[in-house]
Amino acid sequence: MAKREKRKPPRKAPKSYVLDGPVRRRTSLRLEKAFEQAIREICASERISVAHFLGRIRAKSGAKGSFSSRIRCEVLNWYRTRAHGGKP
């Protein structure tokens, strides 16, 4: 019998982003396309730049975990709040 090869999911290509804050800086992130689109939708809705949105997440004190994970959680919380009529 032939051994079946396991296919690895395609890797997300890193994308470079600029973060707003006291010092503007660049960072590379690997995010799914759905999260990239969600970030753009959030920024358009709030009339802020992607750099400002990401800088705001980075600036939150006491945040733990990887930056990519914190972004995903922030996006999820934003949509959940909207789904519940603005109530967290």
Strands 25-29 and 15-19: what pairing?
antiparallel
pLDDT tens string 73-86: 999 999 999 888 87
d(C-alpha 57, C-alpha 60), whole Å? 6
Size of the chain, expressed as the number of residues it contains: 88
Q: Bigger pLDDT: 26 or 67? A: 67
- How much of the chain exceeds pLDDT 90, in percent? 39
Residue 71: what pLDDT?
93
Tell me the residue ranges of DSSP E strands in the chain: 15-19, 25-29
Question: CA separation (Å) from 85 to 19, 76, 88?
Answer: 29, 15, 9
pLDDT tens string 10-20: 566 778 887 87
pTM for the predicted model, two decimal places: 0.74
If you average pLDDT over each of 3-12, 33-42, 62-71, which comes out highest?
33-42
| Burial state string for 18-27 with b = 16 or more CB within 10 A and e = fewer than 16 | ebbeeeeeee
